[in-house]
Amino acid sequence: MGFEGVIGVKGFLAVALMLAGMGFAAPTKAQEAERAALQALLSDGAGAVTVTPEFAQAVPEAQLDGLLETLAAQVGPVEEIDLQPSGAGELRSASHEVPVRIVLDDQGRIAGLRFGAPEPLVADLRAAVAGLEGLGAEVSWLVQRDGEVLAAQGAAHPLAVASAFKLGILSVLAREVRAGKTDWDRVLRIAEPHRSLPTGRLQDFPTDAPVTLHTAALLMIAESDNTATDLLLDLLGRETVAEELGIAPEALLSTREFFALKADPVAAQVWRDAEPEARPSIAAEAAMLPPDVAAVNGPSVPGIEWYLPLESLCALIEPMADLPLLQLNPGPASGLAPAAYKGGSEPGVLNFTVALRDSEERLICAALTVNDPGPIDEIAASGAFRALLRRAMAQP
């Protein structure tokens, strides 16, 4: 749960194979060799280049050809390849720009390759907003700069936002650290009730494993670690976090409770139909045993989620825009500017929330939520949101 790692991590355009031990420092003539490798790939397919054995095992030639065909169908012929010495850069067609990163080994073989979400080339903010409208059955967006709204639709209407609710937990925690009530190096210990499902890694840590507040917060934001989330929620208190989010405490589920209810349609219906005061005990009982991973991979269940308006998400992230742990994973803002980011996703739910500064140091918050009973095209949403960010940063 959560938009994790590189753009398109759940989509077919993500070829992320930065292999262990491979650095990104480029030799003197690397840009020419990397550009030539990309040109050969785009022109003649996977058979025109050589790759390392590890790359070939991870991405067989037929799969790579399929990815290249999909890319060509989406963006058309690539007219320009712009690479930095690091191997990162952009591919440009007449209609799109595509983030790319390529790594060659010392024999000139492809060892790593990543394509980001194709970003539509748009003339202005109005055109960027138009690209958001068809992303799902319910779509809301908000772009504001130093508190002034530049573009908005449905920004005050709560929609399901998945892991973006974790901004409320971080907001409370950061405020308590600033007030001297606690400290980032305070140690918590994982107990069995905190153990949730992936995303994340803390669910595999042993019981009583020590974790600092800073590590838990960083994992909750950068990797959307659900066990770290429940650990911090338990520490801070459900009523405090619910107040920060502007929702009723009985509507605030832990991630373990969320997964348990989603996996059990009967319990989910009972929870939805219950009086508010009865909901916490129903959710807690459902979460006594962690659900099977396979049981929670289906579509979102109406009512079993975290429902927040974009206005609230921007209000949460803007005061934390310069917090380093929020900038570790910039999500769809990668490469545009240092950006604070938290998003969320599950089938039928997608959110991106970003805070960054433009060239004049004006604070911009851009947020997008998509809800749909069917699948959401995360690749298209990522590209459209990236175009929105770029035009917002260029807005006079």
Q: What is the mean pLDDT of residues 133-143?
A: 97
Q: Comparing 198 with 293, which gets the higher pLDDT? A: 198
283 with 216, same domain: the answer is: yes
What is the largest distance, in Å, between two alpha-carbon atoms of the chain? Answer: 68
pLDDT at 18 over 90: no
18-27, 93-102, 341-350: range with lowest mean pLDDT: 18-27
Reply yes or no on whether the pLDDT at 210 is more than 80: yes
In order, the DSSP letters of 291-310 are PPGGGG-SPPPTTSS-EE-H
For the segment 153-189, what is each residue's pLDDT rounded down to a tens digit?
999 999 999 999 999 999 999 999 999 999 999 999 9
Regarding whether 81 and 36 lie in a shared domain, the answer is: yes
Say which CATH number the domain at 319 has.
3.40.710.10
Residues 279 and 320 in one domain: no
Burial pattern 116-138, b for ≥16 Cβ within 10 A else e, equals bbbbbebeebeebbebbeebbee
Q: Does a structural domain hold residue 246?
A: yes
116 and 211 both lie in a single domain: no
Among residues 244, 272, 296, the one where a domain terminates is: 296
The overall average pLDDT reported for the chain is: 91
2 within a domain of the structure (yes/no): no
pLDDT of residue 291: 79
User: Are the C-beta atoms of 135 and 380 separated by less than 8 Å?
Assistant: yes
| C-alpha–C-alpha distance, residues 91 and 112, integer Å | 16
Q: How far apart are CA 372 and CA 342, in angstroms?
A: 20
Is residue 170 assigned to a domain?
A: no
Same domain, 327 and 356: yes
Amino acid 292: pLDDT: 80
Q: What is the CATH number of the domain that holds 42?
A: 3.10.450
Q: How many structural domains is the chain composed of?
A: 3
Tokens of 249: 């405490």
Query: In this predicted structure, what is the pLDDT of residue 224?
Result: 97
* Chain centroid to CA 376: 14
Is 15 part of any domain?
Answer: no
pLDDT at 368 over 50: yes
Residues 344 and 288 in one domain: no
CA distances from 47 to 37, 43, 57, 79 (A): 11, 11, 15, 21
Return d(Cα 291, Cα 140) in angstroms, integer: 31
- Band (pLDDT 50/70/90 cuts) for residue 8 is very low
Strand order in the sheet with 363-371: 148-153, 138-145, 363-371, 349-357, 339-346
pLDDT tens digits, one per residue of 109-119: 999 999 999 99
pLDDT above 70: residue 12 = no
The reply to whether 374 falls in a domain is: yes
Report pLDDT for 355.
98
Opening angle at CA 57, ends 53 and 62, nearest 5: 110
Residue 263 CA to residue 267 CA, distance in Å, equals 9
pLDDT reported for residue 30:
65
Identify the band that residue 86 occupies on the pLDDT scale cut at 50, 70 and 90. Answer: confident
Reported pTM: 0.87
pLDDT, position 319 = 98
**Which range marks the domain in which residue 321 is found?**
125-161+307-394
